[in-house]
Amino acid sequence: MAEFKRFNAYHRILHVVMAVSFIGLVASGMPIKYSNAPWALWMTKLLGGYHGAALIHRICAVITFGYFIAHIGYVLYYIGIVKKFQFNVFGPESMVPWITDIMDIVNNFKWFLGMGPRPQHDQWTYWEKFDYWAVFWGVGMIGVSGLFLWFPEFFGRFLPGWAFNVATVIHSDEALLASGFIFTIHYFNTHLRPEKFPMDTVIFTGRLSLHELQHERPLEYQRLVAEKRLEEQETAPQASWKTDTGILFGFAIVLIGFFLLILIILGQFYY
Amino acid sequence: MIRALLLVLTSLTITTAAVAKEDCLSCHGQKGMRGYVDRATFEQSAHGRFDCIKCHLDVSGYPHAKVLKVNCGSCHFLGREGAPKEKAQEYKLSVHGRALAAGNTVAPNCQTCHGSHNIFRAGDSRSSTRRENIPSLCSKCHSKEFADYGTSIHGKEFIKMQNPGVPTCFDCHMEHRIPNVGDEQWMLSLITQCGNCHAEEMKTYRKTYHGKITRLGYANMAKCSDCHGSHTILPVADPDSTLSQRNIVATCRKCHPKATSGFTKFYAHAEESNREKYPIMFYTYIFMTTLLISVFAFFLTHTFLWAYRALKERMQKKGGE
């Protein structure tokens, strides 16, 4: 059975790095945000005490800045070198939101409510684009506020001290938004939605089956057929051990995420 | 001559029978006598009803050898019914008790603080350990700390006796327990001690990074006294306070060596929900909360409707088969 390329090795590795560092950040940050919760003490101990948790948080923060910069580099490389500046920023291969996305949202809600057919998607759906841009917003907000809190003496040279209070609010609330979003909405939209339950393996295999391409991304399929590029997208299935490792990793991350989500919800009662 | 005769006579009687208080006081009740005991004070004291040998276990008659220091633990020991036993055990584990056990000859024992023949219940104004008398009692050894305490807002209020809740030495140093001043658990427990009166300040402190980390049990982080001082504590408005305009940079620099005056504009007791005091924090909080609620409201609706539609279609498919 032929399979079709969706994510290359860079995409897949980036996703794994993001997932691991994100879990590390949430696990080591939440005991501080919810220091009043009964689980905060043992969670801190589990991570090697306050100093261990702080170290994990900072290492994962550096990884986050690393993949963020790496991705910007990749986008420039992709548009400039791979596409030789012939990339249509508002086209179907782009992550940039466009009017079609607004229409897709409206039509999708109509479908939810039984008022119309299911809208047909191209390569990137609006919820995938949202996930993508949310990382920019999240890393920007949490990253900058986090740097303030990491190096207060340095930033205190040009910023008033209350900037650290504001940074704390942003860091803490954005962390809740990001982790709450990933562990519920992202998990559902990608892995737990009825067509894919319990997991969409595409991020681990990088490949779509013909059936998936035709049914989930019909506009992309039709476009590839019309542009006679379908064959160029064809690829051999991934070695099964790689797929198995990916799935195992995916399940571990999803379960850890749910576990952290429960702790966050509990923590909210003590906040 | 008469006195010598009397001594001989009494000694004859008390070698055979139990030694009664009167027997002892016949000598030691006389002013100028070595080991003089003021009868009136002793009899009104907490132990006034006991015979001397109840405590002076090494005396069994007359003449007696040099009397040894009384061991209060012979009654006030752990496990004895009715005795304030925890106190003795607490003392043993305290800096004082451990110093004494290690052979420090000036370390205080029970009598140093409680007295010997003039022990009164703590509520009695004559008691050396009555609340009002505590600072002067501790000052017998800790004169510098006492002088410092006198300059603090707590010490001043204490001397004026206008504020019965004001802390004295014991409130922080914990009576018999007196832990080492480097004891981290003790340092952390003092935060709640301050919070007993300064409840609002503790609540807002707990909302900051400093307060959250100390709550997780790590003492190497700003606690009340690290910023406000301890024995010399003053209101922030006082120019001599560690947190006055003049001193605050130096205070922050204890932990943040490169702190600037801008840095000190940090609110160590910030509360994002207080619009009057912290408007920028408040509006940031409102913005972030609005964002959070909007994103979740949209996507949770999206998710639930999606799940509903997908399940419905699946059921219809099954029904059609």
User: What is the tens place of the pLDDT at every residue in B194-243?
Assistant: 999 999 999 999 999 999 999 999 999 999 999 999 999 999 999 999 99
In this predicted structure, the answer to whether residue A133 has a pLDDT above a threshold of 80 is yes
Cβ–Cβ below 8 Å for A161 and B272 = no
Q: Give how far A225 is from chain B: nearest CA, Å.
A: 28
Is residue B187 domain-shared with residue B256, that is, in the same domain? yes
Is residue B266 domain-shared with residue B290, that is, in the same domain? no
CA distance A105 to A97: 12
pLDDT at B18: 66
Count of structural domains within chain B = 3
In this predicted structure, the answer to whether residue A229 has a pLDDT above a threshold of 70 is yes
Is residue B250 domain-shared with residue B215, that is, in the same domain? yes
Q: Chain B contacts of A164, Cβ < 8 Å?
A: 266
Q: How many CB pairs under 8 A join A and B?
A: 132
**Does the residue B188 lie in any domain?**
yes
pLDDT at B23: 87
**Does the residue B290 lie in any domain?**
yes
**Does the residue B85 lie in any domain?**
no
Interchain contact A74–B (C-beta under 8 A)? no
Q: Which of B45, B68, B91 is the last residue of a domain?
A: B68
Q: Which of B35, B52, B68 is the last residue of a domain?
A: B68
pLDDT digit string, tens, across residues B13-28:
444 456 788 888 888 9
pLDDT at B78: 64
Residues of chain B with pLDDT under 70: 1-18, 78-85, 320-321
Is residue B288 domain-shared with residue B258, that is, in the same domain? no
Is residue B243 domain-shared with residue B276, that is, in the same domain? no
Residue B215: which of A36, A149, A195 has the nearest Cβ?
A: A36
Q: Chain A contacts of B217, Cβ < 8 Å?
A: 41, 44, 50
Which DSSP string do the residues of chain A spell out, in sequence order? --EEE-S-HHHHHHHHHHHHHHHHHHHHHHHHHTTTSHHHHHHHHHTTHHHHHHHHHHHHHHHHHHHHHHHHHHHHHIIIIISTT---TTSTT--S--HHHHHHHHHHHHHHTTSSPPPP--SS-HHHHHHHHHHHHHHHHHHHHHHHHHSHHHHTTTS-THHHHHHHHHHHHHHHHHHHIIIIIIIIIIIISTTTTT--THHHH-EEEHHHHHHHSHHHHHHHHHTT-HHHHEEPPPPHHHHHHHHHHHHHHHHHHHHHHHHHHHHHHH-
pLDDT digit string, tens, across residues A152-203:
999 999 999 999 999 999 999 999 999 999 999 999 999 888 888 888 989 9
Cβ–Cβ below 8 Å for A40 and B216 = yes
**Does the residue B84 lie in any domain?**
no
B177 by DSSP, 3-state: which?
A: coil
Is residue B266 domain-shared with residue B213, that is, in the same domain? yes
pTM of the model: 0.87
Q: Name which residue leads in pLDDT, A62 or B29.
A: A62
Phi then psi dihedrals of residue A15, to 5 deg = -65, -40
- Tokens 């504001």, residue located: A166
Domain residues for the domain of B262 are 181-270
CA A54 to chain centre: 23
pLDDT digit string, tens, across residues B63-88:
888 888 888 878 777 666 666 667 88
Is residue B198 domain-shared with residue B242, that is, in the same domain? yes
Is residue B285 domain-shared with residue B249, that is, in the same domain? no
**Does the residue B31 lie in any domain?**
yes
Q: Chain A contacts of B295, Cβ < 8 Å?
A: 177, 181
Is residue B290 domain-shared with residue B242, that is, in the same domain? no
Q: Which of B13, B46, B68 is the last residue of a domain?
A: B68
Interchain contact B302–A (C-beta under 8 A)? yes
CA distance B146 to B157: 14
Task: Give me the half-sphere count of Cα atoms (radius 13 Å) on the Cβ side of residue A3.
Answer: 14
Q: Chain A contacts of B212, Cβ < 8 Å?
A: 32-33, 35
Give me the residues of A, 46-65, that contact B with CB < 8 A: 49-50
Domains of chain A and CATH, by start:
3-270 (1.20.950.20)
Cβ–Cβ below 8 Å for B262 and A184 = no
**Does the residue B94 lie in any domain?**
no
Mean pLDDT of A125-141: 96
CA distance A202 to A6: 8
**Does the residue B222 lie in any domain?**
yes
Residue A185: which of B264, B303, B308 has the nearest Cβ?
A: B303
Give me the residues of B, 194-223, that contact A with CB < 8 A: 206, 208-209, 212-213, 215-218
Is residue B280 domain-shared with residue B263, that is, in the same domain? no
Is residue B204 domain-shared with residue B261, that is, in the same domain? yes
**Does the residue B196 lie in any domain?**
yes
Phi then psi dihedrals of residue B51, to 5 deg = -75, 155
Interchain contact B286–A (C-beta under 8 A)? no
pLDDT at B15: 47
